[in-house]
Amino acid sequence: MISSWAGSMRDALAVAEGALVTGDVPVGAVVLDAAGVELARACNEREASGDPTAHAEVLALRRAAAALGTWRLTGCTLVVTLEPCTMCAGALVLARIDRVVFGAWDPKAGAAGSLWDVVRDRRLNHRPEVVGGVLEDECAALLDGFFAAHR
């Protein structure tokens, strides 16, 4: 299952590199429709925009909703290079994403199975499928390189 998402994760990694230009943490996200066609993509833009909510996932979800003309992203998959945080996990649940695929695990802030498991919380009305660890080493290396340069 993980290998079937490698191509989409490579796309998300390429998007993530765009964040380096503005000094943002290099996280990239791609939203695919049910047929696997890309609807939207985004990288982190918090530094670029001064917006604390400008995480790659939130921006990609907004753009996908605009492309479809509805906030309900049923049938869609969010592919992201880093395990979503609580804000992003909540956003993808509210957007009714069917599946979240991520690369690197985030033991300090992850909310899709590491520190928390917001996306599969039985108290919520929607629980997307979770596929973690896709191209994990490549995704982690991009982040490790960024943080090593900023220490």
Residues designated as active site: 57
Q: How many CB atoms lie within 10 A of CB 115?
A: 16
Answer yes or no: is 76 a known binding residue: no
**131 strand-pairing partners:** 101
Please name the residues in contact with 36: beta carbons below 8 A apart, sequence gap of 6 or more: 8, 77
- What is the Cα–Cα distance from 144 to 91, expressed in whole angstroms? 26
Structure tokens at 70: 């509805």
Answer yes or no: is 88 a known binding residue: yes
Structure letter (DSSP) for residue 118:
G
Q: Are 102 and 112 in contact (CB under 8 A)?
A: yes
Annotated binding site for Zn(2+): 55, 85, 88
Annotated binding site: 55, 85, 88
